Amino acid sequence: MNNELIKKDLKYIWHPYTQMKDCEEAPPIPIERADGVKLYDYDGNFYYDTISSWWCNVHGHNHPTIKKAIKEQLDAFEHVLFAGFTHKPAVELAERLISITPKNITRVFYSDNGSTAVEVAMKMSMQYWQNNGDEKRTSFLSLDRGYHGDTIGAMSVSGVDLFNNRFESLFFKSFKAPSPYCYRCPFEKEKESCSLECLTGMEGILKEHAGDIAGILLEPLLMAAGGMIIYPPEYLKGVRDLSNKYGVHLILDEVAAGFGRTGKMFACEHADVEPDFMCLSKGITSGYLPMGVTVTTEEIFKTFYDDYDKLKTFYHGHTFTGNPVACAAAIASIDLFEKEHTLDRVVEIDAELKDFLKSVQDLPMVGDVRSIGAVGVMELVKDKNTKASFESKKRLGYEIYSRGLKKGLLLRPLGDIVYFFLPLSVKKGELDDIFNRTREILETSSIFL
């Protein structure tokens, strides 16, 4: 079965973020089934899903509660257009989301993925200003290491790097502020004693261009694909203050950080910040089905609410907007947070992660360790004194990925960043095993230096 599947895969399929030529020597692994935090191939080998299958699996694979909700909805109906029609799962999910998001949030707009949730927020923000007669605010301010998705609009407000630099000519103009990257602080400050000098770059842009900017867009506390950068809540509070001071929207991309990853239901809660827009996806259905959501305030919603001939309608939609099966999965996932005391478990995971990271931080190539909730990060460097990175031709991340598979670990480093993005259902014994296997890989660091 394995060989036949692999042969057909390589004949027909083009995988994401993959140099397909690598598959000649390291073909994709066919997965037959999954349970909890483990993936099983056809030979009976298992792999710990330490990155939640690209950050979306929250409650573990094959959870009976979510499967039951999906099956029950399928017995009723699978889909209906969401223009001129509605249904109970979409209404119930919207009500649940309003009950758990910040208090100023009152409206829910459904889409189908994280990139689109971000683009919806940007389009709403820009049209808000136009509906109010301000035609100049057509740009956005974001962070130079941010990542918001792979559609053209989302790439335009992301940092320009290996992921998207070939497409830069397609991007619309946006402003980029320096990222709060504490380990590589451009001001050479220490995290424990800095005065948030990294906010000065953002304020400088706002002083000069606020009249052209519709909103500030950033990932709260955890910049995921940009290097698993974790920054202090005080920085996010500072950004909220700047958005208020200069009269621009605050758009928070919680696609990766939302639904318990950081120890709170949403990362912005750590800073007690209420955004104007929040973008959700990934963990909203615990990874069982695709779904995107953009939530916003009543004040923003009302600027679109008018007679049809005023042309203030928000013309945006998707075939699978508010898909009832995805809504049912999301409702079941939200229910599990209370039923299984999921956030309490994240507190335990956070403590265990910190202990592990402390135990490996003195290894020769571990330059920095950082964590928040169920996310733990090890930044590997060639020289700990200079923080010099490894040469890209070494493909350190790929080597660690390969070694991880041999030890039953699904690790997928971001360059030299090795990280855990753990399912929130992971048990202590599983964590200990994951950490021991990872330590064995890191302790062979001499092969890389």
Side by side, which strands form the sheet with 175-177? 105-111, 292-297, 277-280, 249-253, 213-218, 139-143, 175-177
Q: Alpha-carbon distance 128 to 299, whole Å?
A: 10
Q: Name the burial class of residue 64, with classes exposed (0-12), middle (13-18) and buried (19+) by CB atoms within 10 angstroms of its CB.
A: exposed
Q: Distances in Å between the alpha carbon of 62 and those of 39, 182, 314, 425? A: 10, 38, 37, 12
- On whether the CB atoms of residues 407 and 436 are closer than 8 A, the answer is no
Length of the chain: 449
From 49, 112, 253, 416, active-site residue: 253
Is 144 an annotated catalytic residue?
Answer: no
From 235, 282, 288, 416, active-site residue: 282
Q: Alpha-carbon distance 154 to 68, whole Å?
A: 34
Q: Alpha-carbon distance 153 to 113, whole Å?
A: 14
Q: Alpha-carbon distance 141 to 249, whole Å?
A: 10
Q: Alpha-carbon distance 70 to 175, whole Å?
A: 42
Instruction: Please report which helix (H) or strand (E) contains residue 331, including its range.
Output: helix 324-339
Strands (DSSP E) found in 186-309: 213-218, 222-223, 229-230, 249-253, 277-280, 292-297
Is 272 an annotated catalytic residue?
Answer: no
Which residues, 6+ apart, have CB-to-CB distance to 208 below 8 Å? none
From 17, 21, 308, 362, active-site residue: 17
From 47, 147, 231, 419, active-site residue: 147
Q: Please write down the long-range contacts of 29-36, taking CB distance under 8 Å and 24 or more positions apart.
A: 29/405, 30/1, 30/2, 30/5, 30/6, 32/1, 33/62, 34/61, 34/62, 35/60, 35/61, 35/62, 36/60, 36/61, 36/62, 36/423, 36/425, 36/426, 36/430
DSSP code of residue 257: T
- State the virtual CA torsion across 433, 437, 440, 442 in degrees, nearest 10: -110
Is 398 an annotated catalytic residue?
Answer: no
Instruction: Please report which helix (H) or strand (E) contains residue 266, including its range.
Output: none
Which residues, 6+ apart, have CB-to-CB distance to 324 below 8 Å? 73, 76, 77, 78, 79, 80, 87, 88, 89, 90
Is 253 an annotated catalytic residue?
Answer: yes
Active site residues: 17, 147, 253, 282
